[in-house]
């Protein structure tokens, strides 16, 4: 069986990383994928459901390699998930004055990602996610960035959110300040995300993480998340 797919040019990523980048869009009506089509790009990405082993084998024959695994969680938002603000932990919408701190935190928190060597340069992942949180604060990459803070007004973590539809939203980034890891801040951030969903009338929240990130998977499971899907990112380049 041949691989039937179109290659979508990723303009923003191509310009940001200075690598002509494409992503496969699988379609039974698409032409057969060839080496000649793939060779036009410096990097071609493919996101494949983990159970599609035959397709993974075929992509491997075309030169694709495993880059990262991903788990997607689905949370149902109800009134029982309401976040109760306390004098110990509160949250608010991030503003432009917070950007430098949040960018520094994201740069440290997201060193390991699918934007890794040998396809990308050292430091690319940190730069990418630092820019992501900045744009989330400004309302571009994501719709909003919420941050948690303690009684002394010290920021303890942040979470970005993007509305997908009238009833659905997705967590973009979630990170805890390095000096607050292991103190339950992740739970506070998830509670803040759920509270925002309730305010927006959103009933379903999605959040994805790397298969290797056991701590994040536990957090999302304990927050009421159920596994919606598992996928693999494969790269050729």
Domain covering 74-228 in this structure, CATH number: 3.40.630.30
Q: Give the mean model confidence (pLDDT) for residues 176-200.
A: 94
Percent of all residues in the chain with a pLDDT value above 70, rounded to a whole number: 95
pLDDT per residue as tens digits for the range 92-140 = 999 999 999 999 999 999 998 999 999 999 999 999 999 999 999 999 9
Q: Is 220 a catalytic residue?
A: yes
| Residue 1 confidence class, pLDDT cut points 50, 70, 90 | confident
Average pLDDT across the chain, whole number: 94
* Closest to 67 (Cα-Cα) out of 11, 117, 6: 117
Angle, CA 229 vertex, CA 134 and CA 187 arms, to 5°: 50
Statement: the pTM of the whole predicted model exceeds 0.85: yes
Q: Is the pLDDT of residue 81 over 70?
A: no
SS3 190: helix
The one catalytic residue in 129, 206, 220, 232 is 220
pLDDT per residue as tens digits for the range 136-172 = 999 998 999 999 998 888 999 999 999 999 999 999 9
Structural domain boundaries of the chain? 5-63, 74-228
In the prediction, which pLDDT does 89 show? 58
Q: Give the mean model confidence (pLDDT) for residues 184-206.
A: 95
Which residues make up each annotated binding site?
213
Which residues make up each annotated binding site for acetyl-CoA?
213
Sheet containing 5-9, strands listed edge to edge, beginning at the edge strand earlier in sequence: 5-9, 21-26, 43-49, 226-236, 65-76, 204-210, 168-176, 155-163, 144-150, 89-93
| Residue 87 confidence class, pLDDT cut points 50, 70, 90 | very low
């Amino acid at each position: 069986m041949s691989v039937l797919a179109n290659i979508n040019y990723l303009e923003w990523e191509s310009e940001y990383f200075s690598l002509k980048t494409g992503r496969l869009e699988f379609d039974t009506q698409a032409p057969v994928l060839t080496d000649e089509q793939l060779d036009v790009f410096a990097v071609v990405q493919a996101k494949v459901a983990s159970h599609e082993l035959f397709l993974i084998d075929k992509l491997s024959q075309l030169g694709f390699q495993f880059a990262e695994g991903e788990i997607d969680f689905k949370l149902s938002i109800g009134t029982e998930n309401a976040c109760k603000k306390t004098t110990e932990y509160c949250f608010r919408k991030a503003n432009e004055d917070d950007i430098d701190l949040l960018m520094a935190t994201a740069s440290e928190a997201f060193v390991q990602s699918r934007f890794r060597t040998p396809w990308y340069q050292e430091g690319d992942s940190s730069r990418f996610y630092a820019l992501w949180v900045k744009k989330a604060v400004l309302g571009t990459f994501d719709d909003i960035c919420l941050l948690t803070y303690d009684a002394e007004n010290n920021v303890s973590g942040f979470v970005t959110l993007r509305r997908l539809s009238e009833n659905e939203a997705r967590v973009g980034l979630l990170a805890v300040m390095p000096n607050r890891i292991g103190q339950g801040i992740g739970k506070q951030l998830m509670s803040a995300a759920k509270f925002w969903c309730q305010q927006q009338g959103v009933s379903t929240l999605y959040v994805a993480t790397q298969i290797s990130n056991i701590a994040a998977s536990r957090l999302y499971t304990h927050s009421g998340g159920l596994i919606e899907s598992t996928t693999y990112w494969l790269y050729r380049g």
